[in-house]
Amino acid sequence: MEPLNRARLGVLAVIVGAVAWGVSLTAVNSGASPMAVPWTVAAIAVGVGLVALWLGWGVRQYRRGKNPGLSGLRAARTAVFAQACAYTGTILAGAFAGYGLAIALEWSHAPRREVAISALIAALGGLAMVVAALIAEHWCKDDSSSEEGKQAPQTTP
């Protein structure tokens, strides 16, 4: 399994944010009324990030020899879950940041300011999910699979 690439996550967030910004700006300029993002979006994103950390902590303890009952399959599933959380959180953060920034252009209008703040809070929830997933994925990585550890095995003739 290939480890997460932070640059790829950053590019994904920028692309999704730009698309969300453009779509939101077009919709608002054509007369659509922006809707506030529920606070539960940020709460659920943070909750899923905490689940990824909890599962990753179990794998970390297993790798240190403190949790011998953990199966390798569960460790692999935890790593995949952490990567899925990182991509999902990146998409959430980018989309809600783009939406919030498009609405924030009319900051002086109080109802739109509240919508922009709710969207930016949801973006922070997505960012928290990404950070938690990156930490959990790091705990699941095998140190022997690093680049310097990938030398060809020595054979004797």
Asked whether the predicted pLDDT for residue 117 surpasses 90, the reply is: yes
Q: Is residue 124 part of a domain?
A: yes
Q: For residue 43, is it within any domain?
A: yes
Tell me if 63 is assigned to some domain.
yes
Whether pLDDT at 150 is above 60: no
Predicted local confidence at residue 152, as pLDDT? 43
Mean pLDDT to the nearest integer, 93-105: 95
Judge whether 31 lies within some domain.
Answer: no
* Cβ atoms within 10 Å of 76's Cβ, excluding its own: 13
Residue 5 lies in a domain: no
Which pLDDT does position 93 carry in this prediction?
97
Confidence at 119, pLDDT banded by 50, 70, 90: very high
Question: In the chain, how many domains are there?
Answer: 1
- Give percent of the chain above pLDDT 70: 90
Q: For the chain, what is the mean pLDDT? A: 88
Q: Which DSSP string corresponds to 20-71?
A: HHHHHHHHHHTTPPP-PPPHHHHHHHHHHHHHHHHHHHHHHHHHTTS-TT--
The pLDDT of residue 79 is above 70 = yes
The per-residue pLDDT for 107 is 86
Residue-wise pLDDT for 20-61, tens only, equals 999 999 999 998 889 999 999 999 999 999 999 999 999 999
Q: What pLDDT sits at residue 75?
A: 87
Domain that holds residue 113: 36-141
Give domain status of residue 105, yes or no: yes
pLDDT at residue 146, as a whole number: 47
pLDDT tier at 92, thresholds 50, 70, 90: very high
**Predicted local distance difference test score (pLDDT) of residue 144:** 56
